[in-house]
Amino acid sequence: MVSLAYLDLSWNHFQGEIPKCFSSSNLVYIDLSQNQLEGEILESLSSSLVHLNISSNQLQACSSLVYIDLSQNQLEGEIPESLSSSLVRIDLSHDHLRGLIPDTFRNMISLGYLDHPGNRLEGETPKSFSRGLVHLDLPGNHL
């Protein structure tokens, strides 16, 4: 299956962690949504991957992850509250995210950069963010 580019295994009853073989494949599309996967999201996915759907599982952000850039994708839904507390920079700009900005950002003591422009975030901005926050970019939302 070296040439496999599209893999949809959604709505199965897969359990356990995401297989590491996805990080060294030619896959451009992976849909593992609506399973019972758990553990950490892979730190390094295939460089050819352009679509990853891992929604509705029990995954956690990588605890060692300090920078995450998921900008200009087709991410939908709310910002997860279970992001790694060690994150320094989060870029979720120009996706299709909606809902409120989670209060968990204020507990991320290392967070310095938060980029979320061009989404559908709404409501009020949290009363406080991380004390180390030096860059906050939220234009083009519904705040």
pLDDT tens digits, residue range 23-32? 767 888 888 8
Q: What are phi and psi of 121, to 5 degrees?
A: -70, 145
The DSSP result for 32-89, as a single string, is: --SSEEEEEPPSS--TT--EEE--SSEEE--TT--EEE--SS--EEPPPS---TT-SE
Domain residue ranges in the chain: 1-60, 61-143
CATH 3.30.1380.10 fits 61-143, yes or no: no
* Beta-sheet strand order (sheet of 51-53): 6-8, 29-31, 51-53
* pLDDT means over runs of 10, the chain (143 residues): 84 86 78 80 66 71 73 79 80 88 83 92 81 90 90
pTM for this predicted structure: 0.62
